[in-house]
């Protein structure tokens, strides 16, 4: 029995628009972000997908994205399972800073290392590896069992929490995952085999 796993990064947030490090700060979607989330819902609906269970983070931008996607299939009243394990990477001392201002303060090279390395965390924050260390166990414990039962599972979360998950699903190396881009509001649809390996992957862009 093959199950379906749908991953969607939240639509554009207010701090995405302002070019700020967001992390765990709880900011809302922009008008564009809401439109992206609704478009993701419609694209998934056209694939004939309906959801048995939906997971999201404790942050409003992911929760609203999840709700818009569920509403597209008339499932807007479905209970969402919220867990901070799916939260965005914690940017620590960078949170709230404009990315250009951060480069002026610490230099292009240092900010690039904090943003794009796999194992180096910004001051007071998490690396991508740290993010994966909370995402992977949660996926195995809470999400994967639904997929392996043949269910269709929606996960609306964040750029780095989803990159960590995709790293595991696709078998990416640390060098490969830091180069991977994940656009806001673009669904990634996996079909999994009964042994949890990936049968197919489709990006609905």
CB 174 within 8 A of CB 26: no
Q: How far apart are alpha carbons 188 and 166 in whole angstroms?
A: 9
Write out the catalytic residue numbers.
Answer: 10, 88
Q: Which residues of 20-57 are buried (b: 16+ CB within 10 A; e: fewer)?
A: bbbbbbebebbeebbebbbbbbebbeeeebebbbbbbb
CA dist 25 and 11 (Å) reads 15
């Amino acid at each position: 029995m093959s199950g379906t796993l749908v991953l969607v990064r939240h639509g554009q947030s207010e701090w995405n628009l302002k070019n700020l490090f967001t992390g765990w700060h709880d900011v809302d979607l922009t008008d564009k972000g809401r439109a992206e989330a609704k478009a993701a819902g419609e694209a998934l609906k056209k694939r004939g997908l309906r959801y048995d269970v939906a997971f999201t983070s404790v942050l409003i931008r992911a929760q609203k994205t999840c709700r818009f996607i569920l509403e597209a299939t008339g499932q807007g009243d479905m209970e969402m399972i919220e867990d901070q394990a799916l939260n965005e990477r914690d940017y620590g001392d960078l949170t709230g800073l404009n990315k250009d201002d951060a480069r002026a303060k610490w230099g292009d090279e240092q900010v690039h290392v904090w943003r794009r390395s796999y194992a180096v965390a910004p001051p007071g924050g998490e690396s991508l590896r740290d993010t994966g260390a909370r995402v992977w166990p949660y996926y195995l414990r809470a999400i994967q069992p639904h997929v392996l039962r043949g269910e269709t599972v929606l996960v609306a979360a964040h750029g780095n929490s989803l990159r960590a998950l995709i790293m595991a699903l696709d078998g990416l190396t640390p060098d490969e995952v830091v180069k991977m881009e994940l656009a806001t509001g673009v669904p990634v649809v996996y079909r999994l085999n009964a042994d949890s390996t990936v049968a197919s992957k489709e990006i609905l862009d």
